[in-house]
Structure 1
C-alpha cells in the first residue's frame, strides 16, 4: 500500500481549526516552507479571524459549523483531489514539530501506511504536555496494546496516513475519539505503522480546547476510554476477517 516514490506533492494537509487566529498563519507558513502546497484548513466554528488569516496565508478554507474535532477532520477528507495519495493531519496551534515531516515521509517510503508523531519518547517534549494528557495517553495506549496487541506510544494529532488505508479504516468518530479510533482500526487491520519522536512545543497563543479546562480534560478522557471500550466490545467483524487473512498470507 505504501509507494516508495512518495513525494511532498502527494501529500494533502488537513488542519482542523477553532479560534486559532494568532497561530494559523505561522503553521501554514512552516508547512509551505517544507514544500507543502496542498493545505486545507477546516474552520470549525471560529469566532475570530482564523478563516480570513488562513486564506491570506495561502490555504484553502472549508467551513464546518458542527462542532467536533473528528467532524472537522471528516469534513476535510471530503472531495479530496485524486492526486492526494497521502493525508497529513496536524493541529492549528503551532505545537506540532512540522519540521519532522521529512522523517515522516522517509518512514512512509520504507513501508509504513500510518506514521504518527510520538511526543512522549523525548523527555523535553513530554514535559510540555499536561499531567492529565500524559496519563490519559499512556493509559489509552496500554489498553490498545492489551486488547489488540499494537504497541503505540502516543495519540499525537500529527499523523501521515495513506489514503487507501484511510478508506479501509472508514472513520466513524466525529469527536475527540478520532485519533484513538484511527489507531484502533489500524491495529484491527494489521496495518503497518511507525512512530516518530518529535519535539512538541508548548502552546504560545490561546488556550487548548481540551487540556485547557477541567471539563475538557474529563470529556477527552471519557471519550477516549469509551471509544476503546466500544471497539473492544463491538469489533467490525468483516475487518477482523481481513486482518486474519492478511496474517496467513
Structure 2
C-alpha cells in the first residue's frame, strides 16, 4: 500500500486533563485527528482545539454515538481516507504505537487490527478485575461460536475505511467494539492483533469505574455475541 491517508477518531467525555496529551503523542503520519466531544461539561473542547484536533460535538451520550459522528464527518466532507484508527481520550493507550497498529494494514494488506492489552505490557491497576474477566469471557465466547482468535476488545484499533463502511455499524453505546469484531468475522475480514502497552487512565472511567456502567457494558457485549450466534 502507498502512504495511506489515516484519520483518528477519539470519543471524549470530560477528558480535559488528558486529551491534549493524547493528541500530541499521535504520530505525524496521521492526516487528521477527530475528537468527538460527547456532551462534556469541562474544558475538553477547548483543550482539544488548542492541541490541533478537529472537534465535533455529539450531545447524545454513548461511545457508539461518538464514533458514528466521527465517521459521518469523514463521509459528509468527502475526505479521502484509507485507514481509520479509534483511540480513547483518557491517555490509557500509548498513541505513539499507532504506527504499530496500522503496520499490518500497510505492510500486509490486513483489513482490521486490534491493539491487544496483554498482561505483560499493562500497568498494574490499569484494567479492573471486571474488565479482565469481561474481555476473557467475550473473546472466549467468540472463539467457541465463531472460531475467532481475538484476545481483547481493546478500543485502540485500526481498520480500512472502506471495510468499516461495509460493516454498517449501529451500536450507540457499550457494544461498539464487540459489534465491529463480530461483523468483521461474519464478513471474513482478515484481522490480527498487535500487543500494546496500557497504563492507568487520567480521571475516572465512565464504564468500568461504576457498577452501573460495568453491568450495562457486560449485558450489551453479551447480547451482541448471542445475537450473532443464532443468526
Q: 1:12 aligns with which of 3, 7, 10?
A: 7
Structure 2 Cα separation of the partners of residues 227 and 82 of structure 1: 31
Q: TM-score, normalised by structure 1?
A: 0.87
Taking the aligned partners of 1:201 and 1:41, their CA distance within structure 2 comes to 21
Distance 1:143 1:107 in 2: 25
CA-to-aligned-CA distance 1:138-164 (integer Å, 9 cap, x gap) = 100111111111110100000010011
Residue in structure 2 matched with residue 202 of structure 1 by the alignment = 200
Q: TM-score normalized by structure 2?
A: 0.94
Structure 1 unaligned regions, length at least 5: 236-249
Distance 1:56 1:82 in 2: 22
CA contact (8 A) 2:36 2:66 kept: yes
2:146 counterpart (129, 145, 148) = 148
Deviations 1:114-139, CA, capped at 9 Å, x for gaps: 0110002x424174311100100010
- After TM superposition, give the deviation of residue 172 of structure 1 in Å: 1.2
Distance in 2, Cα, partners of 1:177 & 1:89? 14
Residue 66 of structure 2, aligned match among 66, 72, 93: 72
Query: In the alignment, which residue of structure 2 is the partner of 1:50?
Result: 44
Structure 1 window deviating more from structure 2 (109-118 vs 179-188): it is 109-118
Question: Cα offset for 1:93?
Answer: 0.1
Is 1:174 aligned with 2:172?
yes
What RMSD, in angstroms, separates the aligned Cα atoms of the two structures?
1.3
Paired residue total:
226
Could you tell me which residue of structure 2 aligns to residue 29 of structure 1? 24
Alpha-carbon distance in structure 2 between the residues aligned to 1:218 and 1:83: 39
Q: Give the alignment of 1:214-229 within 5 angstroms.
A: 214-229=211-226
User: Which residue is equivalent to 1:188?
Assistant: 186
SS at 1:94 equivalent: coil
